[in-house]
Amino acid sequence: MPSYADIDLVVFDILGTLVNEPGGLHDSIRELAPDSSAGDVGGLVEMWQNYVADEQQKMLDRGRPYANSDAVDREAAELIAARCGVTDATAVDRLATAERRLDPWPDTVEALERIARHLPVVGLSNASRATLTGLNLHAGLRWHYVLSAEDAQSYKPAPDVYRLAVDLTGGTPERVLMVAAHAWDLRGAQALGLRTAYVRRPVGDPPRATDAFDYRADSLADLAAVLLGRQHARVP
């Protein structure tokens, strides 16, 4: 397990890790179609997320030319609107930008602020630059720098996306710590040699028994305490 002194940069996934992506999508879809039942809205959120994941994978597999997350979110919004029978262009436009209005998890802002007082913190997301600009303002996220997968014209878990963060340090991947609530994201970072920290959230992708991440924390507040040397980390 690396120590505080071994880390030059802490890189955070944003969607799901720092902000409640499914909850925000749920609220936006409910706004689009207020008469839908809770179960219907939950299914529509899953439809949105599956569509986005499938389209991003097509791009990684070279089955579709690269398009940034704004374009894919627009397609997902149109799919949801069609399923709900909504044709109002203004309503669809608002749904297409739902990810700019996601709320942070309760411990996110304070824990991120604490870590940022001692270590450089960087956001690294599959969301577009435009989406991240709006989201960071809405959620009150503090960064020293923010990176979008759009800068690599790709999506995580492609190595080129994680390399964006490594290049910021001018050093080696082993001195960069990737933090995420998605085990698939951490595996992608590990493949390039980054250190990894899994943070448990109500949503996300839990680790497998075979995953060996450097840190595992029950919350971002717990991870902050570990990084700043105030408690012991749980390790695989």
Q: CA nearest 142: which of 204, 220, 232?
A: 220
Q: Could you report the per-residue pLDDT of 139-154, keeping only the tens digit for each?
A: 999 999 999 999 999 9
Cross-sheet strand order for the sheet of 195-199: 145-148, 121-125, 9-12, 176-180, 195-199, 215-217
> Residue 39: its pLDDT value, please?
75
| pLDDT tens, position by position, 101-131 | 999 999 999 999 999 999 999 999 999 999 9
pLDDT at 235 over 60: no
pTM of the complete model: 0.93
Q: What contacts 24+ positions apart, CB below 8 Å, involve 90-98?
A: 91/32, 92/32, 94/28, 94/31, 94/32, 95/28, 95/29, 95/31, 95/32, 96/70, 97/73, 97/131, 97/134, 98/24, 98/25, 98/28, 98/29, 98/73
Greatest CA separation for the chain: 55
Quickly count helices (H) and strands (E) in the chain: 9, 6
pLDDT of residue 234: 45
Ordered structural domains, the chain, with CATH: 4-20+102-227 (3.40.50.1000), 21-101 (1.10.150)
Q: Rounded to whole angstroms, how far apart are CA atoms 50 and 9?
A: 31
Instruction: State pLDDT tens for residues 28-55.
Output: 999 999 988 877 999 999 999 999 999 9
User: What is the helix, strand, coil percentage profile of the chain, to 5?
Assistant: 50, 15, 35
Tell me what pLDDT residue 1 has.
47
